[in-house]
Homo-oligomer: A and B are copies of this chain.
Amino acid sequence: MEFAAASASERPYLPPAVAVSTVAFALRPPSGAFTLIGESPIDQMADAPVTLWIPLVRRTREPFRGRWALPGGPTRWNETLNDTALRSIRAAALRTPGYLEQLYAFGSIERSADAQRLVTIAYWAMLGDDDLAAEPLADVRTDDHHGDPPAPPLTGPGAVRRWDDPDVAVARAIASDDTVGPPVPDSNDANVANVAWCSADRLPELAFDHAAITDYALARLRSKTEYAAVAHRFLGSVFTIGQLRAVHEAVLGYAVDPANFRRQILAQGTLIDTGERETGTPHRPARLYRFSNEAAPEFPDARPQPRRSA
């Protein structure tokens, strides 16, 4: 909007702003986080069922001011899109996700009410249990002092070098689709929490088309073909098959047979038996497994071999 005025004749189209919106799933809100049930914010943490939670950010600027929105914001000039998504999630959740994947690029003209055109790249991410248990990133301004951050899986993520704005503090997390431009100082309600965790089933009314983005992210997460390889990222580095099954059930929304699940998950050969067992359970202790980084032996799209029975 506030580019040095370029008349329509010499510049028939303004370049659209590029922003990122993120849907960061976790199996539970981080301890101490502000949670939101339905429309009314409640700070209850107990009896959380096994469902998916996502962090939301309250908008502090005019289009949809006060509404909840997905974390996000405009891309910086020296950031990849992945970097922007990572930074947005860190600012909102104060944690680094263990998995990040691009969803879709939304570029309809109707999305921007104003003259400023907006193209939004949506991402979805997974925050694992050990991600959530890690030290909150509060008051972090640079990336360096976080000794050995788990390398995000996609393209070069270490490129987040230096943050010039204190936008990682909770009260300043950016809601996506924020207008591009110099950051204006937030209003004086800075002590009101503007990040809340919400169950993915019972979201409040979101700003922009963020409800559609969330639905799309959920559908993608549930599309069984892919998530079997990443579901373990909701858990720590070692886990039992029962825990892994609970993840699948939470994502799918229904119960699966323990015996068949065990067979199938072991048949893909991606789990490694650590030899150790659970302790302190009120029942038979389960084996602990680790996920293998090895590529699956069978290439999924390989041509089926003729069977040529003997």
B residues less than 8 Å from A107 (CB atoms): 18, 75, 80-82, 121
Quick one: which of B4, B18, B80, B301 contacts A6, CB cutoff 8 A? B4
Q: How many copies does the complex hold?
A: 2
Considering only CB atoms and an 8 Å cut-off, how many residues of chain A contact the other chain? Answer: 46
In the complex, the chain B residue whose C-beta lies closest to that of A156 is B108
Q: How far is the CB of A195 from chain B (nearest CB, A)?
A: 24
| CA of A182 to CA of B164, assembled, Å | 33
Tell me whether B102 and A80 are in contact (CB under 8 A). no
Quick one: which of B11, B80, B219 contacts A301, CB cutoff 8 A? B219
Tell me whether B108 and A12 are in contact (CB under 8 A). no
Tell me whether A222 and B301 are in contact (CB under 8 A). yes
Tell me whether B105 and A254 are in contact (CB under 8 A). no
| CA of A117 to CA of B119, assembled, Å | 14
Tell me whether B109 and A16 are in contact (CB under 8 A). no
Q: Does A135 contact B (CB under 8 A)?
A: no
Interface positions of A from 61 to 96, Cβ below 8 Å from B: 74-82
Tell me whether A105 and B77 are in contact (CB under 8 A). no
Q: How far is the CB of A105 from chain B (nearest CB, A)?
A: 4
In the complex, the chain B residue whose C-beta lies closest to that of A183 is B12
In the complex, the chain B residue whose C-beta lies closest to that of A222 is B301
Question: For A77, A102, A223, A303, which residue has the most chain B Cβ atoms within 10 angstroms?
Answer: A77
Which positions in A face B, CB cutoff 8 Å?
3-4, 6, 10-18, 74-82, 102, 104-105, 107-109, 117, 119, 121, 155-156, 159, 164, 180, 182, 219, 222-225, 252-254, 301, 303
The 4 A-B residue pairs whose C-beta atoms are closest, nearest first, are A4-B4, A13-B77, A81-B107, A105-B105
